[in-house]
Amino acid sequence: MTVSDTHLLTVENLSVTIPSSAGAVRAVDRVSLALERGRTLALVGESGSGKSMFCRAVMGLLPRSAVVPGAARVTFDGRDLGGLPRRELAAIRGREIGVVLQDPLSSLNPVIPVGRQIAEPMRYHLGLSSARARERAVELLAAVGIPQPEERLGAYPHQLSGGMRQRVAIAMALACEPKLLIADEPTTALDVTVQAEILNLLGRLQRERNMAMVLVTHDLGVVAGRAHETAVMYAGRIVEKAPTVELFTRMRMHYTRALFDAIPRIDDPPHRELGAIGGQPPGPAAQRVGCPFAPRCWRAEERCRTEEPPLARDAGENHSYACWFPLSQEERP
């Protein structure tokens, strides 16, 4: 993969291992991807598939004990993040990469009024005066759709509803006008009615501000119509990656199909059983031989258990997958 000017973020061969008493846990396994300015990449996978750890690695906020093998390279806006001194890295994190996490209640400091929390990075990174930062905080709260933003500045997180909190968290992430927004399961902890609102808000803000976005979710249903490209993760690896429309129409992985079947549909007959995937994802510490999905895959053959399929694409296509026996035309949904 080459670094081109249009790419805001490129990740090459990123692995993250975390030592534990049961042996080294490989949370992220040889992940490579690239994201253009203003585009959205969705990362989809079950819990524990390494999505969040991947995001933390990009932000440079891994747990202290985590080890990133040397071959990894993360380039952001033309700069190799691995080679930057701590201080510069912190400045990039604060100004150019915004983050929204799953649980808005724990994402906000319970003892600081939300206005001050939004203003803080602007004062610190952009050197705004407190009056100017306050003004900007009001603008941001208005931009994320909070009514009477001036009155909300002094509110504490516990005084707001879940949806409001997530809007505040988004305002916080946008404070310094980042080029990249990492949204790690931004709607998982919210009421269903609020989920769509928040996703639409993120989409609108992204278009208006020409931000790139990494949208992490376990729900393949969230991705449709919102992400330009979708990468499916399993056991720390990217196992399938394609433009979203292509992925939905021509999915090749049995795992992707299983995720797809787990989405409830409005035209389903009542009480249809959702397609749950039997078994558990492999413990990340397990010594890995063969395809990690093989134990749960209905198509697995001997080869799948002994030989790991590489992430590769068919000639002339922008669709990569890691499977020895990809879904055929008839098997697609």
Task: Please give the residue ranges that form the binding site for another protein (CB under 8 A).
Answer: 56, 59, 61, 64-65, 90-95, 97, 99, 101-103, 106-112, 120-121, 124-125, 156, 158, 169, 172, 175
Tally of residues, the chain: 333
Q: How far is the CB of 211 from another protein (least distance, A)?
A: 15
Phi, psi of 207 (to 5 degrees): -65, -45
Give, as one character, the DSSP assignment of residue 73.
Answer: E
For 313, left (φ over 0), alpha (ψ -120 to 50), or beta?
beta
CB nearer to another protein: pick between 1 and 61: 61
Give min distance, CB of 159 to another protein, in A: 8
**Cβ neighbours, 10 Å, residue 272:** 9
CB of 226 to another protein, least distance (A): 22
Tell me whether residue 101 or residue 232 sits nearer to another protein (CB atom): 101
Least distance CB 106 / another protein (angstroms): 4
Judged by CB, which is closer to another protein: 118, or 238?
118
Angle at 186 between CA 182 and CA 188, to 5 degrees: 145
Nearest CB to another protein, comparing residues 103 and 246: 103
Nearer to another protein, 121 or 163 (CB): 121
> What's the angle, vertex CA 49, arms to CA 79 and CA 198, rounded to 5?
75
Nearer to another protein, 158 or 303 (CB): 158
- Dihedral of CA atoms 207, 212, 214, 215 in degrees, nearest 10, equals 0
Give CA–CA dist 259/281, Å, rounded. Answer: 13
Element (H, E) at 191: none
CB 215 within 8 A of CB 188: no
How many Å apart are CA 327 and CA 241, to the nearest integer? 14
Residue 17 Cβ vs another protein, minimum distance, rounded to whole Å = 17
Instruction: Give the max Cα distance, the chain.
Output: 67
Compute the least distance from the CB of residue 92 to another protein, in Å. Answer: 7
Smallest distance from another protein to CB 122, Å: 10
Decide whether 175 or 251 has the Cβ nearer to another protein: 175
